[in-house]
């Protein structure tokens, strides 16, 4: 009897010890988002790395495009919307927080793949259908010494709404009076000429398959690609290649707007690539769930600081300090 009693007491004590050593499960916080496809790879990496810092947070993101992210945050069906395009009428209390830089490379496929230069007005004339062959005098005049054939130009554009279309058309809008009057800017526009393709991959594929083609892709999709891209003339009159450094220079010398993605067509730096911008997250200032707001704010602060090195490692241009400061000030407003 004493032996049984002893074993019973020992079992109870051992069970209590086991319970004391096993950590209590952490209450999880689910954060949902939707929007831009371009930054999806870096978002996934951020979610993964931040999960190691705070395992209580779980992220769910739908890469449905900038327009989809805008629509879902306006409907309040997600905690944040991701967009690289400006909202024409943002509701009161909706904050834009830039998180990563973006740029558009103008890619082409012509015989011999020579390296070419263009300005915004000439590029607009191509996309308007006013320039139809590669040996046009307006192209040749900026590329002395390059032998250009009368190869027909085929414009390839996005057929789906895209932040890259917004960046390109915004640049053409400030570069050409004709473009401004006939087409304008947007994630989806009525393209005067050309063939549509879905996604950056679709545009690249179509350009590779079409001699004489010209189109545009976001910068990370251009890197490692066999096709050349145009050196574009910036506001200082210098022809610049799209690189991580030239995109950063464009953002650093463009006046920031509190609630809109940056537009760098008029960036003042000599080394600025002009078809650059930011993509960011749309978050409401007022939050009904205090715990979730606190977790979301902590994550966004991490993105603006440690997360930028991760972006750089994935070939996304990190944000310059001026833009990060704007983002951090906006993050401080969440839930307050």
Q: Where in the chain is the domain with CATH 3.40.190.10?
A: 29-101+276-331, 103-252
Size of the chain, expressed as the number of residues it contains: 336
Mean pLDDT of the chain: 87
Distances 218 to 12, 90, 277 between C-alpha atoms, Å: 63, 25, 11
pLDDT at 151: 96
pLDDT category at 26 given cuts 50, 70, 90 is: very low
CA dist., res. 276 & res. 258, Å (int): 17
DSSP 181-205: HHT---SS---SSSEEESHHHHHHH
How is the beta sheet containing 195-197 ordered, strand by strand? 57-62, 29-35, 80-83, 276-284, 94-109, 213-218, 154-158, 195-197
Secondary structure of residue 214 in the 3-state scheme: strand
pLDDT at 263: 59
Q: If you average pLDDT over residues 58-75, what whole number do you get? A: 92
Q: Is the separation of the CB atoms in 105 and 219 below 8 Å? A: yes
| pLDDT tens, position by position, 117-173 | 999 999 999 999 999 999 999 999 999 999 999 999 999 999 999 989 999 999 999
Secondary structure of residue 115 in the 3-state scheme: coil
Which of 168, 121, 161 is closest to 141 using CA atoms? 121
Does domain 29-101+276-331 fall under CATH 3.40.190.10? My reply is yes
| pLDDT tens, position by position, 210-268 | 999 999 999 989 988 889 999 999 988 999 999 999 998 888 877 655 555 555 556 66
Which of 323, 279, 335, 212 is closest to 33 using CA atoms? 279
Dig out the tokens for 74 from the structure: 């306006």
What's the topology of domain 103-252?
D-Maltodextrin-Binding Protein; domain 2 (3.40.190)
């Amino acid at each position: 009897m004493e032996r049984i009693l002893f074993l019973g007491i020992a079992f109870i004590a051992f069970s209590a010890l086991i319970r004391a050593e096993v950590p209590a499960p952490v209450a999880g916080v689910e954060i949902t988002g939707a929007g831009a496809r371009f930054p999806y790879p870096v978002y996934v990496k951020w979610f993964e790395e931040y999960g190691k810092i705070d395992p209580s947070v779980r992220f769910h993101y739908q890469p449905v495009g900038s327009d989809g992210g805008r629509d879902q945050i306006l409907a309040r069906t997600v905690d944040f919307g991701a967009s690289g395009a400006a909202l024409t009428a943002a509701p009161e209390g909706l904050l834009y927080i830039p998180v990563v830089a973006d740029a558009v490379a103008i890619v082409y496929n012509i015989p011999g793949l020579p390296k070419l230069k263009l300005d915004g007005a000439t590029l607009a004339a191509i996309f308007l259908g006013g320039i139809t062959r590669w040996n046009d005098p307006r192209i040749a005049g900026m590329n002395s010494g390059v032998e250009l054939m009368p190869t027909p130009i085929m414009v390839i554009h996005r057929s789906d709404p895209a932040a890259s279309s917004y960046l390109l058309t915004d640049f053409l809008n400030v570069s050409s009076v004709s473009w401004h009057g006939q087409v304008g800017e947007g994630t989806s526009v009525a393209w005067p000429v050309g063939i549509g393709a879905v996604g950056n991959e679709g545009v690249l594929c179509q350009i590779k398959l079409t001699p004489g083609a010209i189109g545009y892709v976001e910068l990370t999709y251009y890197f490692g690609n066999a096709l050349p891209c145009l050196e574009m003339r910036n506001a200082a009159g210098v022809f610049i290649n799209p690189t991580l450094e030239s995109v950063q220079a464009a953002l650093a010398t463009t006046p920031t707007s509190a609630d809109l993605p940056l537009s760098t067509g008029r960036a003042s730096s000599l080394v600025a690539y002009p078809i650059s911008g930011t993509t960011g997250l749309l978050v409401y200032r007022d939050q009904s769930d205090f715990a979730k707001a606190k977790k979301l704010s902590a994550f966004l602060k991490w993105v603006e600081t440690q997360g930028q090195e991760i972006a750089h490692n994935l070939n996304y241009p990190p944000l310059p300090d001026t833009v990060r400061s704007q983002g951090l000030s906006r993050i401080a407003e969440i839930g307050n």
